[in-house]
Copies of this chain bind each other. A is one copy, B any other.
Amino acid sequence: MEAEIITVGTEIILGSIINTNAVYLSKKLMGMGIETHYHTSVDDDYKRLESAIKIALDRSDIIILTGGLGPTDDDLTKEAVANVINKPLVSDIDMQKYLKNYFACSNRKMTKNNLKQAMKPSESEFIPNPRGTAPGVFVEYEGKKIILMPGPPHELEPMFDEYVCNLIKDDFNIVVKSIKVSGIGESSLETDLKSLDIYMPKFTITTYASTGYIEIKIIGRGLDIDELNKTSNLIVERIKSKIGDYIFGYDNKSLEETLLNSLKLKSLKLAVCESCTGGSISKRLTSIEGASEVFDRGIVTYSNNSKIDELNVDPFLIEKYGVVSQEVAYAMTKGLLEKSGVDLVISTTGYASPVEESKNTGLVYICVMDKKNHKVYKMNFLGDRKAVVERATNFALIESLRFTNKHYN
């Protein structure tokens, strides 16, 4: 079965919000063995929305539409779907009651246009929305499944997990393995991979260049889960034997989750001090549930004074070597290690944006330190402010993982 995701909303088309729903749904669909081939986004325009639905019905088996189920006049998804599949929109008495009750219980004023949310195409089913007032809709049409879901991620995500996944699942299994490498270019990596006997039926192997690392994804799809697992393990072993030195991780998880899991296993506590990355490392780490078991504290020392106050950096070092220097990176890290009593400290100091009288934009020192060892990296990252911060953050996470893998085996 081939899926297509249509995200509806002018705010997506204008770039006002990022289309995270397509990301969430694609990942979930892949995990269920359903391939997604197209994402379409369209603004809140009835004609264009209708046309996008027609194109999707022509090429995909499962069509998930998100957004445009709200109470306002520019919410048109149900209207467009009903028209394309030639079913009238009808108001559902039970849903009317539910909505009236919902507003009464949550002490909110119900306006007349909220009743729009009790409408659905005839012969379709509502999908419950425990987190909001816009229910989802499920329609089968000419052997295709059409799912309408609300746009807000905190409503869409549980609705998918609790209801929609059961409406669309099939018998296929999917196995996904991931190998993360850094220190090798994408074309060299591809040349290396091509020299190996790893291209098997039912499997696709692709490389994705992320910021500062490359992910090799091995995806198998078939009915026999044991066979898929066996073959995928074989592929991973062959790749490992060829390019093992560049590999820093094997899971499908984010860098921050991989690092936290690794530190947790080793019972290590972590603290972070950031200058140029401005809280990005702390934010990435604390985005993971259970981070508090490993992550003790983060200090964003943006001013020179804060480096002196918070991390006991000697002002003389800043004056002599400059705030972006190996010496200051070392002193920041040591200061926090001593003060916090944790096992491992990561620090960054650098220039994320062009600085007056300096040509060193992108110069970042990253230090990783425990009570016995430390390493300071001097890097020149390319790109604008955002790119430098992202590259430095990823580099710090990757090298902390390598550091702890080396010293705590």
Contacts and interface: CB of A to CB of B under 8 A. Distances in A.
Given A39-B41, A48-B37, A208-B17, A282 B300 contact: yes
A278 to B, nearest CB: 3
29 contacts: A13-B37, A18-B19, A36-B43, A37-B43, A38-B42, A38-B48, A38-B52, A39-B40, A39-B41, A70-B209, A113-B191, A114-B187, A131-B382, A154-B382, A154-B384, A280-B283, A282-B283, A283-B283, A286-B389, A287-B385, A287-B389, A291-B302, A297-B300, A298-B298, A298-B300, A299-B300, A299-B310, A309-B340, A310-B310
Interface string A242-272: 0000000000000000000000000000001
Interface size, A (range): 35 or more
Question: Of residues A20, A43, A279, which shows the largest number of chain B Cβ atoms within 10 Å of its Cβ?
Answer: A279
Interface of A: 9-20, 22-27, 30, 36-45, 48, 51-52, 55, 59, 70-74, 108-109, 111, 113-114, 131, 152-154, 157, 185-188, 190-191, 206-210, 215, 217, 272, 277-283, 285-287, 289-292, 295-303, 305-306, 309-310, 339-340, 353, 382-387, 389
Nearest to A41: B39
A134 B355 CA distance: 29
A287 B282 contact: no
Contacts of A206: 10-11, 44, 74
Contacts of A287: 278, 385-386, 389
Contact of A299 (B14, B207, B297): B297
B41 A38 contact: yes
Contact of A30 (B15, B44, B300, B301): B15
B157 A384 contact: yes
A279 B289 contact: no
Given A154-B383, A299-B299, A383-B131, A186 B70 contact: yes
Contacts of A191: 111, 113
